[in-house]
Structure formats: C-alpha cells, structure tokens
A and B are shown apart, each in its own frame.
Chain A
Amino acid sequence: MTISRREMIQATAAAAGALALPSSKSGAPVPPLPPVPPKFFTPAEFALVDELSDMIIPTDQQSAGARAAGVAAYIDGRLAESFEPEPPQRWRAGIQAVEALSREMSGTTFMESTPAQRLALLTRIAAAESDPKTDAEKFFKEIKGGTIRAYYTSKIGIHDDQQYKGNVIQPGEYAGYDAT
C-alpha cells in the first residue's frame, strides 16, 4: 500500500467555512454576515472560530485566508453532525476557555477586544503548542488542526495558495525526471 507516512499513523482531524462577525466596539472592520446560520455554533461562537481561523491562516499577497475559504462553516458542519458527543463538547469548552482568558487578559470578550489584544491572546495560547497544558492552549491545537484540514482542502487552499498542479490528465509522459 502507498500512502504518506503521516496519514498512515495519524488520526483524522476535524475540518472548515464562511463567517459572521458582530459589530466591534474596537472599530475593527465588520465582516459580512454568514450566508446561513451556523448549525452547531452559536453566532458568537462562530464569530470567534471564524476570526481565530483567519488569524491562523490570514490573507496574504498570495491568497485569501481561512475566512474566505469558509473554514469556520466547514468545522461547524462537521461538529453539527458529529456522531461522537466528545468533539462538540471539546470545541465548546475550548471556546469558553478562550473567552475566560480574554476576560482575564483584556477584561472583555474575544470579539469585543481589540485586534492587538486578540493577537496577544493567540500568541499566548500558541506559545505552548508543543506541550499544551491549559484548556485554551489545547484549544489552539484543536482549531489549528481544523483550520489546516479545512483550508488546504478548499478551492482557495489548493488552487490559489498551494497552486497545486496535479489531478489533471497527462496524455503523454509523466512530469518529472528519468531514472538515469
């Protein structure tokens, strides 16, 4: 059998979406409303997941980020139909941990805090990535994994960002080099 070594031994992660942020007192730009209401997340939870995912994979000069790729909506859809009760519980608890940390660090909710405060929070929970201990730190790994899975399987991720060349018919020779 052939398969990447990673896939052979890795459990599958959750996956990604499209968005909705409430108006922000901090004056940050207000993203468009979600096309459909979230299925699992509350609107506030959805906004947080959408914002965090787009901070993890933001828009840059090459390609649009997680928000445009619909990462949060994809994650929401998978959690809404989850057969196991644990993943939805884990995500909800993780979001609550982030909110608690936000109140501790900024005195307000994550989405009500300023972009600088959000970045400070994300930087803090990401610092322990290799050995997460708190619930908020563990949630960083959860949402980063979900964002990676959803973003790099999206049209934007595959075509705009990675500029993937395969999954096309090659009528003649394979691309690549001869074994000489």
Chain B
Amino acid sequence: MPRYFTQDHEWIDVDGSDATVGITDYAQSQLGDITFVELPAAGSAVAKGDSASVVDSVKAASDVYAPVSGTVSEVNAALEDEPELVNSSAESDGWLWRMTLSDAAELEGLMDEAGYKTYVEGL
C-alpha cells in the first residue's frame, strides 16, 4: 500500500480508491503535546488543500490540509478521548480520517517516503 507525503506534513496511505490520512511524526514532534483534534464530519466532501482538520497543541492550533480531494468515510474516534495518540503514534494508530478519492491523479504531485525524508532534512 503506497504512502505519500505532502510539504505540509500530512501522510496518506492509498489502497485503490480508499485512503487513510494523518500527520507525520516530524509534524507531531514540532507541535508538541496534542490536546485536541477537530476531525471532519464523516460524509463530508474535502478538496485538495482544504483545511479538513485542526490539531490543537498546548501552544497552538494547526490546520491539517486534505492531501487530495474526496469524501470522508470515517474518522478516528479514538482521538476523542486520546488525542495524544497523535504524539505517540502519528503514522499509525494516530491516523485522522479515511476518505474515498475522487481524483487519483492528484496523488502525482506528492512525495514518497524517501522524498519526504530529504525534504524534512532540508528544513
């Protein structure tokens, strides 16, 4: 299952036309302690680049942008009681939402893992 990354530090796992989205481990380390995650509504349509979610840390609130366009199919309900999962497991149990892609071609501009690693090292 290929994983792509954005310059805004989201990751997206793609499985056919379904995908799972979260923020990267680098992003969570920069944000610090996460205290609340505002998730999109299941069934809502998101367009690539839209602010779909907000991650609140002790010091700031940060937008999470949709890496691609589509419809939200499920959100990570565990984050309601345990937003700190985004700190402890940003790229696995701390996923934010699942979505159905509306235009798989939008994946083309995203980075792969090696590309993202190089990108972060350059920051």
Partners in one complex: no
**Chain A residues close to B by CB (< 8 Å):** none
**Chain B residues close to A by CB (< 8 Å):** none
